Structure 1
Amino acid sequence: MGAKEENYRHLGETMIKKFRKRNIDACYCASKEEAVKKVLEMIPKEESVTWGGSVTLQETGILEALKSKGCRMIDRNEAKTPEEKRQMYARQVLSDWFLMSTNAFSADGELVNIDGNGNRVSLLIHGPSHVIVLAGMNKFAPTLEDAVRRARNVASPANCVRLGLKTPCAATGICGDCADPTICCQFVITRHSRHDGRITVILVGEDLGY
């Protein structure tokens, strides 16, 4: 095990304790393959699964693995009209499991997320019976302020480039604090889970996503 991997493991063990103080379940997986195995163990075959947009989920291949397992996948991209999108969102709200990553997490165990329409963060806040947050250790930030800064200056510019959005940050790589109605409309800080066992953070000892 290299120094970086060992440091991630130590940091992961520390963060598990921090998350649990906030009533957020957490575990550490050394690799994305181990994380996928963990998620497959957690989610029963007969239950419904939906997810928010996430490069991390794509990089791990977890959605394909769950589909192969036979889970009922609720894919928002299948909706073609505004009415279908509304109906799909209603199905997502009532789903058994919601998968996402996070833009950052602080050393105190707070999750920081930026969203445009708010559908991703709204499902984190309320609705699905269970939420799994799959996060590479590169999402760590020492303080809440650093976590917000990371979300604005690392995650958001990269996602704007990925989505082909013509925003100041996509051109400069730095948050321009603009008023454009893009992916930075909603800032959500999750500092505590009110419901026991609802949110689980799976920390992965790799650099994943933005």
Structure 2
Amino acid sequence: MINIVQKTIHNLSNNNITGYYTNSIAQLHEVIRSLLRKEETVGCGDSATLEQTGIFDLMRNEGYSFLDKHIPGLSHEEKREIYLQNFRADTFLTGINAVTMDGKLFNIDGNGSRVAPILYGPKQVIAVVGTNKIVSSEKEAIYRTRHISAPLDAKRLKKSTPCTRLNKCIDCHHKQRICNDFVLVTGQFEKNRIKVIFIEGNYGF
């Protein structure tokens, strides 16, 4: 796997995206700390990977200026305000649904609040990605996200879409469909704005 990760990091660099490899949660946290300053604002998107690796708790417990969208009891308007603040954040933390070996990032989103700040706004985007999400091609990235990531995420969100029962995508038109925005990032104008930190193992969906 390490050779695949190294190849992927090399190709990310060719697309002006910086890659890192970590083999433990502790090492991941050290890299995250090295890329952040306590006085700067940090936003986030929904991410099972960030939850599983303790990044959200790291932000809450170590004094970062964290725009925490997961505070219990937030109203719809309060969440929307946080989504808008994410565009002005110094750093935006996120997961990625799939990373191709030729250095591209693929995501599917429901309302765009996660993919939009990846594309524009924050000075720095840090994506934490399990090595299980490295795929060989754009076609595989789309397949993985539609048939693995999306059904699992829909279950997490307690949606009643067909994929939660069938465990695969049928390209439904359900009112609770979360596969609305298909976004492929093939590169960046600003070198090193997006940083992808791989962590060895199966994380996220």
TM range (shorter): over 0.9
Match for residue 72 of structure 1 among 62, 65, 81: 65
Give % identity. Answer: 33
Equivalences, count: 203
Alignment-derived partner of residue 4 in structure 1: none
In structure 1, list runs of 5 or more residues that go unmatched.
1-7
Alignment-derived partner of residue 186 in structure 1: 181
For 1:1-210, list aligned pairs within 5 A.
Answer: 8-78=1-71, 80-181=74-175, 182-210=177-205
Shift of 1:140: 1.1
| Alignment partners' CA distance in 2, 1:20 and 1:84 | 37
Shift of 1:147: 0.4
Q: Is the 8 A contact 1:106 1:142 kept in 2?
A: yes
Q: How does the TM-score come out when normalised to structure 2?
A: 0.94
| Alignment partners' CA distance in 2, 1:40 and 1:111 | 23
Q: Is the 8 A contact 1:116 1:184 kept in 2?
A: yes
Q: Deviations over 1:129-166 (max 9, x none)?
A: 10001000100111110001000000001111111111
Over the aligned positions, Cα root-mean-square deviation in angstroms equals: 1.4
| Alignment partners' CA distance in 2, 1:26 and 1:175 | 30
What amino acid does structure 2 have at the position aligned with 1:20?
A: S
| Alignment partners' CA distance in 1, 2:59 and 2:75 | 26
Q: Is the 8 A contact 2:44 2:93 kept in 1?
A: yes
Alignment-derived partner of residue 5 in structure 1: none
In structure 2, list runs of 5 or more residues that go unmatched.
none
Q: Is the 8 A contact 1:33 1:60 kept in 2?
A: no
Shift of 1:82: 4.2
> Which of the two has greater helix per residue?
1
Q: Secondary structure of the residue that 2:92 maps to in structure 1?
A: strand
What amino acid does structure 1 have at the position aligned with 2:174?
A: D
Q: How does the TM-score come out when normalised to structure 1?
A: 0.92
Q: Secondary structure of the residue that 1:158 maps to in structure 2?
A: helix
Q: Is the 8 A contact 2:18 2:192 kept in 1?
A: yes
